[in-house]
Structure 1
Amino acid sequence: MDPKTDALTGGFAEPVFHAQSVFRMLMDGMARPGTVNAILPEVEPPAPLGMAAGALALTLCDHDTPVWMTQGLAKSALGDWLRFHTGAPLTREKAEARFAFAESNAPLSSFGLFATGTQEYPDRSTTLILEVAALDKGRALTLTGPGIKDRATIAPLGLPETFLRQWTENRSLFPRGIDLVLTSGRQMLCLPRTCQIMAREI
C-alpha cells in the first residue's frame, strides 16, 4: 500500500467509543501492574508498530502531546499517521516527549533521557510504549509494589539487555520517573514507576 494511503487509514472505526475503552483498559493496567490485557478495537497502524501500540497512540496522543519515536518508526509512515489521526507533534528530543514509541529490538540507551517530571509535578513525564516480541515467552521477572498482591510474575520476550538496570535507575527517581507500557500484537501490560522489578529466583 502507498505510504500516503497508510497515513489516512487504519484508525478507530468509532473514535470516541474505542478511545474510551482503550483508556479504561490502560488505567486498569496501571492500577494492576503486570496484568496482560488485550485491545479489542481494530486498528492498523503502519508497520512495524503493532495493534495495541497503535490503539494507545490514537487514545493518548493529541495536539498538546509531543511524541518521540525510534529511528525505525520514524522511517515508516507512523509520523504521518499520528499527525493525521491525532494532530500530535513529533519531537527529536526525548526530554520533550509526552509519549514515546519504540519497536521490538530497538536500542534504548537510558530511560533517564526521557522527561522524568519534577518533584512538584511528577506527572510531567514521558510514558514509553515499548513493543516486544511476546509478553509470555521470555525470562521470568518478579513484580512487587502498589496494586500487586504479594508479587506477580511476567515474562516478556525482547526487552533490552540492560532493562533491569535501567528500571532500577528509573525507580530510584520516585516520585519522578517514566511509566512503561509493553505491547505485543493486541496485548499490553503496564509497568508504572511504582513497580519494583527483579529477576525471578529459581
Structure 2
Amino acid sequence: MALARGFADPVHDAQAVFRTVMDALARPGLVRRLACGLAPPAPLTPELAALALTLADADTPIWLDPSLAGCAAVSAFLRFHAGAPIVANPAEAAFALIADPGACPPFAAFAQGTPAYPDTSATLILALARLSEGRGLGFAGPGIRGRAQLDAAPLPPDWPERLQANHAAFPRGVDLVLTAPGRVAGLPRSAQALVPEEA
C-alpha cells in the first residue's frame, strides 16, 4: 500500500494552515479559505488532513470516527506524517477527526478540561459538505462583532443544544473547527449559540 504524500513544503504549508485556523478560532463564525494541496486516503478529506498534520504531534493523541478508523490507510497516513498516536477512547484524544459529522458523538464523550486546566480539553475537527456565512444558526461572544451566522451541514439534529451546553460549561468544554472543501471556520467554547426560543 503506497503512502499518500503529505505537505509539499511541510514547514511553510503548516505555518499557513496554522495561521488560518488560529484566525478562524479568534473570529468565530467567519469562514476562511483553506488551501492545503493534499490528496489523503479517503474518507480523510484534504482539510482534515491539513489540520491534523499542522496541529497534531507525538504528544497529541488523535481519535478517529468510525468511518476514518475503519480505513488502515488513514491511520498509516496520520501516524507517518503527523507522528500522532491514534486512540480508541475519545476521552483520551487531544484532537478528534470526524468525517461523518451527522453521527458526531456527544461532546461529553471527549476531554472537557478542568477549571484550572481548560487547555486539556479536546478540539473536534469536522468535515462538512456545506459551510457558509450569512444565514443559519447565530452566534455571539468574544471575537464576534454583533452576531455571526453559520450555515453548516450535515450536523446532528441536537447541534444547537450541544453548542449551548458546551458554552454553559465554560471555561471547560470542547473547541470546534468546521471544515468544508476549501473552507474552515472556528467555534471555540466561548461562542454562544443563539437558539430561537419556542413560542
TM-score normalised to the size of structure 1? 0.91
Which residue pairs with 2:175 in the alignment?
179
Identity %: 46
* Structure showing the higher strand proportion among its residues: 2
Match for residue 78 of structure 2 among 74, 78, 82:
82
Matched, 1:46 2:41: yes
- Number of equivalences: 196
Matched, 1:140 2:131: no
Cα displacement string for residues 103-130 of structure 1 (whole angstroms, at most 9, x for unaligned residues): 1345123101100111111001100001
Which residue pairs with 1:166 in the alignment?
162
Return closer, same or farther for 1:23/1:144 CA change in 2, 3 Å cut-off.
same
Which residue pairs with 1:188 in the alignment?
184
In the alignment, is the contact (CA less than 8 A) between 2:44 and 2:68 conserved in 1? yes
Which residue pairs with 2:51 in the alignment?
56
Which residue pairs with 1:151 in the alignment?
147
State the SS of the aligned residue for 1:48.
coil
What is the Cα deviation at residue 54 of structure 1?
A: 1.1
Gapped regions of structure 1 (runs ≥ 5): none
What is the Cα deviation at residue 180 of structure 1?
A: 0.2
TM-score normalised to the size of structure 2? 0.93
State the SS of the aligned residue for 1:27.
helix
Gapped regions of structure 2 (runs ≥ 5): none
Which whole-Å CA distance do the structure 1 matches of 2:81 and 2:25 have between them?
A: 25
What is the Cα deviation at residue 80 of structure 1?
A: 0.7
Which whole-Å CA distance do the structure 1 matches of 2:160 and 2:34 have between them?
A: 27
Which whole-Å CA distance do the structure 1 matches of 2:133 and 2:31 have between them?
A: 13
Which residue pairs with 1:121 in the alignment?
117
In the alignment, is the contact (CA less than 8 A) between 1:50 and 1:183 conserved in 2? no
Matched, 1:26 2:21: yes
Which residue pairs with 1:17 in the alignment?
12
Which whole-Å CA distance do the structure 1 matches of 2:148 and 2:135 have between them?
A: 14
Which whole-Å CA distance do the structure 2 matches of 1:85 and 1:108 have between them?
A: 25
Cα displacement string for residues 31-89 of structure 1 (whole angstroms, at most 9, x for unaligned residues): 10011112223011211122211110110111111110111101122111000101100
Match for residue 73 of structure 1 among 61, 68, 74:
68
Which whole-Å CA distance do the structure 1 matches of 2:164 and 2:158 have between them?
A: 10
Cα displacement string for residues 125-156 of structure 1 (whole angstroms, at most 9, x for unaligned residues): 10000111110399711010000011111111
